Amino acid sequence: MNTLAQDVRYGWRVLRKSPGVAALAVLALALGIGANAAIFSVADPLLLRPEPFPNLGRLALVFNKVGTLTDENSMYAADYEAIRSQSTSFEQLAAHFGNSANLTGQGDPERVQAEKITTNFFNVLGVQPILGRGFTTEDGMLGHDGEVVLSYGLWQSKFGGDPNIIGRKTHINGRSYTITGVMGEDFNYPVATDLWEPIAFTPPDKTDRNNNYLLPIGLLKPGVPVSRAAAELAEIGQQLAKEFPRSNKQMGIRVVPFRTYATDELTHNFMLLLLAAVGFVLPIACANVANLQLARVAGREREIAVRAALGATRWRVVRQLLTESVILALGGAAAGLLMAQWRSA
């Protein structure tokens, strides 16, 4: 340890004697490390963890499509009910739709983003509130749908993070709701949602083919591929088109894996290309620093010869040079991380 401390002190003194070269080496490493860290911080949630759902690979979204187009249209409630009752590919099928709402009862009124969801929505996604509970089947019945689950952000900003929030009343669009749960900080689906309310379908809703507003999301059964679910729902869509030509003529059903939807093909390929491009930056930076170090060593032949004459072994000399390289690497890493944080801010 004593000799290591000596190497560090001596290496620091040597680098201070040539600040220009040291700064250039640190800058080169900082650019390489910073660029890679910044791009990876963007690619990580997009490519590897688009959403923190435990069954991400089994989640799929269901859309209406017109003809052969691959558009993503919302669905009639009646079609959703037909798919839910006839499909054998999904373990569960939920649905949701968004709308803005006025939240009152806690200070100044606030316009929030509300999401109407079927009572099994959280179960399909595999998430549960960190406080309280989600929705029960009873919460989706008419007259019993006065429950609400808050997002973590709204709980903190509007209710001060009150740990006793469960059971309190709040008002949404002038109607009284009971707060039953608070979602975790990392749950944000759909994006920018402030609160979730249960959908209570009326009998006319379940046969409505005039308004397409639902966005279904399903949890595939274990071992069932998306292709099988897509084929099954395509057949159901064709049957619905025959039974209800007025509303479903040329209307089909499209199934999209959730991971694909979260990162469309263009974004996926672009991020891979960007990762590959910046991946070359770090080796180039390391090669440049290595060349600088070799140039410095060539100019220190006399110093090394004197150290060898005084009894320093070859390993002792190499260790000293390695110590100086490690000091530069640590400086470059620290500067690179700061640069990455600044770019992502």
Summarised one tens digit per residue, pLDDT across range 138-148 is: 999 988 889 99
Using alpha carbons, select from 18, 19, 20, 48 the residue that is nearest to residue 271.
48
- Give the side-chain half-sphere CA count within 13 A for 206: 10
Q: Is residue 215 exposed (0-12), middle (13-18) or buried (19+ Cβ within 10 Å)?
A: buried
Buried b (16+ CB within 10 A) or exposed e, 9-30: eebeebbeeeeebbeebbbbbb
- Give the side-chain half-sphere CA count within 13 A for 49: 11
Question: Residue 93: what pLDDT?
Answer: 97
Within the chain, how many helices (H) and strands (E) appear?
Answer: 11, 11
Share of the chain above pLDDT 70, in %: 85
Using alpha carbons, select from 109, 267, 125, 97 the residue that is nearest to residue 198.
97
- Measured distance CA(188)–CA(279) in Å, rounded: 30
- Measured distance CA(254)–CA(70) in Å, rounded: 8
CB atoms inside a 10 Å sphere around CB 105: 13
* Blockwise average pLDDT, block size 10, the chain, 345 residues: 70 74 78 73 57 84 77 88 95 95 86 96 96 94 91 94 95 94 91 92 90 95 95 94 90 87 59 70 79 73 75 75 78 76 57
Please tell me the pTM assigned to this model. 0.66
28, 35 contact by CB (below 8 A): no
Tokens 């060349």 sit on residue: 291
Q: Is residue 313 exposed (0-12), middle (13-18) or buried (19+ Cβ within 10 Å)?
A: exposed
31, 285 contact by CB (below 8 A): yes
Query: What is the rounded average pLDDT for all residues in the chain?
Result: 84
H-helix or E-strand spanning residue 176: strand 175-182
